[in-house]
Structure 1
Amino acid sequence: MPEGHSVHRIARQFDRNYVGRRVMASSPQGRFVEGASLIDGRAAASVRAVGKQMFLEFEGDLWLRVHLGMYGAWDFAGEILVDPTIGSANGRMGQTNQRGTDLEGDPVFDAAGENSLTSIGAPRRTRVHVRMSEQTTGLADEDDQWPPPVVGQVRLRLMTDITCADLRGPTACQIQDPDEVAATIAKLGPDPLVDDVAEGEERFVAAVRKKATPIGLLLMDQAVVSGIGNVYRAEMLYRANLDPHTPGRDVPEELVRGLWRDWVRLLSIGVETGQMMTMDDLDPDAYRRAMAHRDDRHWVYHRAGLPCRVCGTEIVLEEMGARKLYWCPVCQR
């Protein structure tokens, strides 16, 4: 499932390429014809991401709400202007194409497909024709077909005269009015990139400390905190040396605060790099390997049966909340 960093990157891409432009909307799949007709021909006015959900505003007080869920993804084609705020102070851009991440030199190839300019969401291979703008890495052949052909089950296609975005496989895709948007967001826990960080910390601490629910479930509860998914859950619990089965109310307050502050940091890194990078203080070679390969950028996630990187104990895999949980029974006790 795409986690919070991906959705914030998607929102920034829409802000850069759609906001202020008139949009043609259609539903090639046929499952969102009525909704597409309501926004067809309207200009996009603003966009925001909260946790794993994105809200794209159109003139006339209409909002498109999208929750990608387990299998959803946005595929972009046409001229793609990269958001200049996604990158580090040394000029590296976190937004990349399928070829990988540019780290002051040759591209780093990511076989997992987590970091993509042309497809953001569930990793997938897709036929997308991309004509890159001057702000990106190159130009495609002049004979690329425009508009791009519809490939597969496209729930919603949003087009300007130069950019196309195809939505596939979302859990939710609906039109809302401002009151419905507010009601949806009110049900979500704090998001460090949306809410005041200090206020968000207090909300998170209060929500966790009053519940007997295991902390491993609370971190995945979008009403407690927004944006954390299966990867970040496992990694944050390991980084905190915290047993995932500990009831929330039994987790020391300072440790709960530490979880929130770690999420603030990891989410920012994820938005900048496009990767769920959870290992710190890597040397340049190790960092390059980590950016290229998922298995080199995590402490415990996807490492069932392998030795813990710290203590050597075999990493445990179990099911919690109908999702796979990876953890170290020695470091996290």
Structure 2
Amino acid sequence: MPEGHTIHRLAGEHRRAFGGRAVRAESPQGRFAAGALRIDGRVLTEADAHGKHLLLGFDDERWLHVHLGIYGKYAFGQAPVPAPTGMVRLRLSNAGRYADLRGPNTCELLDPAGKAALHARLGPDPLRADADPEAAWRRISRSRVSVGILLMDQSVVAGVGNIYRAEALFRQGIDPSRPGRDLTHGQWEAIWADLVLLMAEGVRVGHIDTVRPEHTPEAMGRPPRVDGHGGEVYVYRRSTMPCFLCGTEIRTEVLAGRNLFWCPACQVG
């Protein structure tokens, strides 16, 4: 499932392609035909993201809400706009660009109240200017649930996925099994600051890099990572490999249905 930086990049791409202009909306697949008809010809006024949720605002105060889920994908292209191929749930287009949405978990229209309700059930997003990390801290500091699970709970922190969870905890030396209430406020502030830094870089470059300059392949004289997710990481998908910092074997286990990766020597207590 795409992590939050990908959704913020999609919002930016929509702003550049369609912002301030009327768009043609259609549902070649037919599953969003009624919704497409309601926004067809409307002006895209805003493109926003909160966590893993994309929100496109139109001049009639309707909002298109998209959650890609595991299988959803966007494809952008230049005019001339080709005939749609495959199961395109929604196509937005104008004279110069088009965007095809396939396989989303959610594709729906919201009124302002519905949009407000969506924001209310999501935790603070490290990539949003209006994020309040203290709102997340209030929940984390009272919870017996492990910080490894809490960081993946979108109602606690929005936009963090499996990679950012594993990497931020490694960078801060925190055992992912540690209960949230056993964290100090200073540790939470450091985790949040790291998420802001790493996810903003993900928006900028389009993939997830988490290693510090002194641990890059060039600095360490090691081979670069070869992985479909791209980018250099400390522990994610490095099970049984040696830790870059201490040489200990990286471990993995299933936690709340997702693979967790950590270094038992660098992440203690």
The aligned residue for residue 15 of structure 1 is 15
The Cα of 1:222 is off from its aligned counterpart by 0.8
Q: Judge conservation of contact 1:218–1:248 (CA < 8 Å) in 2.
A: yes
Q: How big is each residue's C-alpha offset from its partner over 1:189-220, in whole Å with a ceiling of 9 and x where there is no partner?
A: 111332445xx221122121011111001000
Counterpart AA for 1:26? E
* 1:181-220 paired onto structure 2 within 5 Å: 181-196=115-130, 200-220=132-152
The aligned residue for residue 271 of structure 1 is 203
The Cα of 1:283 is off from its aligned counterpart by 8.0
Counterpart AA for 1:65? H
- Is residue 153 of structure 2 the alignment partner of residue 221 of structure 1? yes
Task: Quickly say closer, same or farther: Cα 1:201–1:12, change in 2 above 3 A.
Answer: same
- Secondary structure of the 2:186 match is helix
Q: Judge conservation of contact 2:215–2:244 (CA < 8 Å) in 1.
A: no
Q: How big is each residue's C-alpha offset from its partner over 1:66-117, in whole Å with a ceiling of 9 and x where there is no partner?
A: 11111211100006xxxxxxxxxxxxxxxxxxxxxxxxxxxxxxxxxxxxxx
- Secondary structure of the 1:16 match is helix
Identity %: 43
- Secondary structure of the 1:175 match is strand
- Is residue 253 of structure 2 the alignment partner of residue 315 of structure 1? no
Counterpart AA for 1:77? G
The Cα of 1:284 is off from its aligned counterpart by 8.2
In 2, the alpha carbon distance for the partners of 1:284 and 1:234 equals 18
Q: Judge conservation of contact 1:295–1:302 (CA < 8 Å) in 2.
A: no
Task: Quickly say closer, same or farther: Cα 1:44–1:294, change in 2 above 3 A.
Answer: closer
The aligned residue for residue 160 of structure 1 is 94
The aligned residue for residue 169 of structure 1 is 103
In 2, the alpha carbon distance for the partners of 1:218 and 1:189 equals 11
- Secondary structure of the 1:66 match is strand
In 2, the alpha carbon distance for the partners of 1:181 and 1:295 equals 33
The aligned residue for residue 29 of structure 1 is 29
Q: Judge conservation of contact 1:277–1:290 (CA < 8 Å) in 2.
A: no
Counterpart AA for 2:47? V
* 1:18-97 paired onto structure 2 within 5 Å: 18-78=18-78
The Cα of 1:330 is off from its aligned counterpart by 1.6
Task: Quickly say closer, same or farther: Cα 1:203–1:46, change in 2 above 3 A.
Answer: same
The Cα of 1:301 is off from its aligned counterpart by 0.4
In 2, the alpha carbon distance for the partners of 1:164 and 1:295 equals 26
Counterpart AA for 1:151? T
In 1, the alpha carbon distance for the partners of 2:170 and 2:217 equals 23
The Cα of 1:245 is off from its aligned counterpart by 0.9
Q: Judge conservation of contact 1:66–1:174 (CA < 8 Å) in 2.
A: yes
Greater relative contact order structure (CA < 8 Å, 6+ sep): 1
In 2, the alpha carbon distance for the partners of 1:269 and 1:231 equals 14
**What is the TM-score normalised by the length of structure 1?**
0.75
Q: Judge conservation of contact 1:190–1:224 (CA < 8 Å) in 2.
A: yes
- Secondary structure of the 2:42 match is coil
The Cα of 1:316 is off from its aligned counterpart by 1.1
Task: Quickly say closer, same or farther: Cα 1:292–1:286, change in 2 above 3 A.
Answer: farther
The Cα of 1:317 is off from its aligned counterpart by 1.5
- Is residue 173 of structure 2 the alignment partner of residue 241 of structure 1? yes
- Please, which runs of 5 or more residues in structure 2 have no aligned partner? none
In 1, the alpha carbon distance for the partners of 2:224 and 2:245 equals 19
- Please, which runs of 5 or more residues in structure 1 have no aligned partner? 80-145
In 1, the alpha carbon distance for the partners of 2:10 and 2:229 equals 21
RMSD over aligned Cα, in angstroms?
A: 2.1
The Cα of 1:236 is off from its aligned counterpart by 0.8
Counterpart AA for 1:156? L
- Is residue 236 of structure 2 the alignment partner of residue 304 of structure 1? no
Counterpart AA for 2:206? G
The Cα of 1:286 is off from its aligned counterpart by 3.1
Q: Judge conservation of contact 2:207–2:230 (CA < 8 Å) in 1.
A: no
In 1, the alpha carbon distance for the partners of 2:97 and 2:201 equals 27
Counterpart AA for 1:37? L
Q: How big is each residue's C-alpha offset from its partner over 1:156-191, in whole Å with a ceiling of 9 and x where there is no partner?
A: 111111111001111111000011001101111111
In 1, the alpha carbon distance for the partners of 2:182 and 2:115 equals 34
